[in-house]
Amino acid sequence: MTSEERLATLTARIRACRICVEAPLGAPLPHEPRPVARASLTARLLIAGQAPGIRVHNTGLPFNDPSGDRLRLWMGIDRDTFYDEARIAIVPMGFCFPGWDKNKGDLPPRRECRAHWHDALFDQLPQIETILAIGAHAQDYHLSRLGFARAKGEGMTPTVRRFADFAAAKPRVIPLPHPSWRNSGWLKKNPWFATELLPVLRAAVAAALIHAAR
């Protein structure tokens, strides 16, 4: 079996996954699963988000919402480039919309995805050179895989502030806050994000896209 066939087989299994309903870790998913993930053997850039929201669940298209608009603005790319699967992989920590909490906020990513799929999937994507780790769940997973231990109790903000510490990792990890409108206040309180991190992010994205096009 070729590398392309192995990846196609694995991604087909992910798209058909029903573990969170049929063998859940805790309460089952309260709705029909719809796993959303995109991967290829040519993409050099990986976007590792948290989990799809309800709009993504309904459309099957990752970051198809205002958060995606802000993320594309941060990255300095247009919508067509963002959804070019040959150049950009999108693999959230939870593949399905996890549902809402009592305050109508999205629940955390389901644990089943990381436990059953992530290690196997990333073993098949050795060409990835830059990972945009969005939110604490993605940062925990990808940084720990590369041997970067986050301090006990370290929140998302200190991790993002230390973005330069991970520049030499292979693949490189760039930690980001979630681009949700709910984080607009965070962006105002942390102006270094726009002045220091965004130029680094855009340069890394541009380099990864150039490499993927070769």
Q: Is 44 helix (H, G, I), strand (E, B) or coil?
A: coil
Q: How far apart (Å, rounded) are the C-alpha atoms in residues 212 and 214?
A: 6
DSSP state of 163: G
Q: How far apart (Å, rounded) are the C-alpha atoms in residues 67 and 63?
A: 6
Helix (H) or strand (E) holding 46: strand 45-48
Per-residue pLDDT of the chain (214 residues; tens, 9 = 90+): 899 999 999 999 999 999 999 999 999 999 999 999 999 999 999 999 999 999 899 998 999 999 999 999 999 999 999 999 999 999 999 999 998 888 878 889 999 999 999 999 999 999 999 999 999 999 999 999 999 977 778 889 999 999 999 999 999 999 999 999 889 999 999 999 999 999 999 999 999 999 876 6
Q: How far apart (Å, rounded) are the C-alpha atoms in residues 159 and 140?
A: 10
pTM (two decimals): 0.95
Residues paired with 130 in a beta bridge: 45, 172
CA angle 176, 179, 181 (to 5 degrees): 145
Which pairing describes strands 88-90 and 45-48: parallel, antiparallel, or unpaired? parallel
Which domains, ranges and CATH numbers included, belong to the chain? Answer: 3-213 (3.40.470.10)
Q: How far apart (Å, rounded) are the C-alpha atoms in residues 141 and 137?
A: 6
